[in-house]
């Protein structure tokens, strides 16, 4: 830290949110450096400096990223005004300070990332990064081929035009959907617009990281190699993709609007 760390990056490393959120804290006059209010966005923090936000002193935390299998029936929030069960009730006390990266709605399940690193969260969520997310979706009725094409070309919904990056039919009522950006409840909205009802929705992949055999309600800490793999920063070792049902001979197997990302399953860390 020869020249010090930029203030917003320092605050993000204290688990106060993304750099953008930390910029807002600085602009709002809520940050003090060495006992004096600091509004200078370019301030650098050197070893020995102390930083306070709203009067509380903060220090950088060791970055931590956890993969969690969210079960159906839980909401992604710390406290729910309707009294519903939250994902934090399933986590040990030591992990309840982590922020969830994005969310899965109450009726959805699967891969969810939690972290105290605002920068990593931003890399996963920012639209410019286009990190792929893959879902297994089951419908109340068989999919028509014309609708699978429409998922790729774009579905006009009340929320605007929404589309998938890739589609793969796994059975008459079950498909794999890949998104590289996502609107709120995008898959459910697209399906409902075309007359389908989603009966099961599971996220199985984020970037190069697969859910694998991690059971519902279980979690595991990611190592540096797995984090890099998820962000597409390095090629992972060969591993087996979670099994999916093969399509029948009369079904069109893969539909996509661009090159399909290679399946890059991560080594599964030991579940806790």
Is the model more confident about 119 or about 21? 21
Question: In this structure, are residues 26 and 14 in contact, taking their beta carbons and an 8 Å threshold?
Answer: no
Q: Which of 67-76, 153-162, 220-229, 246-255 comes out lowest in average pLDDT?
A: 246-255
Kindly report, residue by residue over 108-117, the tens digit of the pLDDT: 999 999 998 8
Catalytic residues: 105
Question: Which domains, ranges and CATH numbers included, belong to the chain?
Answer: 5-58 (3.10.290.10), 65-256 (3.30.2350.10)
- Give pLDDT, residue 167: 93
Q: Does the pLDDT value for residue 177 go beyond 90?
A: yes
Q: Does the pLDDT value for residue 147 go beyond 70?
A: yes
Average pLDDT (113-136) is: 85
Q: Does the pLDDT value for residue 120 go beyond 90?
A: no
Q: Kindly indicate the confidence band of residue 158, based on its pLDDT and cuts at 50, 70 and 90.
A: confident
**Counting runs of H as helices and runs of E as strands, what totals does the chain give?**
6, 18
Average pLDDT (140-147) is: 94
pTM of the model: 0.72
Query: In the block, which residue shows the tokens 């920063």?
Result: 233
Average pLDDT (79-103) is: 90
Q: Does the pLDDT value for residue 241 go beyond 90?
A: no
Q: Does the pLDDT value for residue 254 go beyond 50?
A: no
Query: In the block, which residue shows the tokens 């006390």?
Result: 93
DSSP per residue over 79-105, as a string? Answer: S-TT---BGGGGS-GGGTTPEEES---
Question: In this structure, are residues 66 and 115 in contact, taking their beta carbons and an 8 Å threshold?
Answer: yes
Q: Does the pLDDT value for residue 233 go beyond 50?
A: yes
Average pLDDT (91-98) is: 90
Whole-angstrom CA distances from 261 to 46, 112, 133 are: 41, 20, 10
- Give pLDDT, residue 125: 80
Q: Does the pLDDT value for residue 244 go beyond 50?
A: no
Whole-angstrom CA distances from 179 to 72, 121, 249 are: 21, 17, 26
């Amino acid at each position: 830290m020869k020249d010090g760390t930029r203030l917003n990056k320092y605050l993000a490393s204290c688990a106060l949110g993304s750099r953008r959120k930390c910029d807002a804290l600085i602009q709002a006059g809520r940050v003090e450096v060495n006992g004096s209010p600091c509004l200078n966005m370019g301030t650098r923090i050197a070893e020995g400096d102390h930083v306070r936000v709203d009067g509380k002193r903060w220090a950088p935390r060791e970055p931590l990223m956890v993969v969690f299998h969210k079960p159906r029936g839980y909401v992604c929030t710390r406290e729910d005004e309707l009294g519903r069960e939250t994902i934090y009730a399933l986590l040990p006390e030591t992990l309840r300070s982590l922020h969830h990266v994005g969310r899965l709605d109450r009726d959805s399940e699967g891969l969810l990332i939690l972290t105290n690193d605002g920068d990593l969260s931003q890399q996963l969520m920012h639209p410019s990064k286009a990190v792929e997310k893959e879902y297994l979706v089951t419908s109340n009725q068989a999919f028509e081929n014309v609708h699978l094409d429409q998922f790729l070309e774009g579905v006009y919904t009340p929320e605007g035009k929404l589309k998938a990056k890739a589609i793969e039919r796994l059975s008459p009522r079950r498909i794999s959907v890949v998104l590289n950006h996502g609107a709120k409840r995008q898959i459910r909205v697209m399906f409902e617009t075309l007359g389908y009802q989603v009966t099961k929705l599971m996220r199985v992949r984020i970037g190069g990281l697969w859910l694998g055999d991690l059971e519902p309600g279980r979690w595991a800490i990611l190592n540096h190699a797995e984090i890099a793999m998820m962000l597409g920063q390095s090629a992972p070792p060969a591993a087996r993709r979670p099994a999916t049902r093969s399509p029948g001979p009369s079904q069109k197997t893969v539909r996509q609007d661009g090159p399909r990302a290679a399946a890059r399953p991560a080594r599964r860390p030991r579940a806790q």
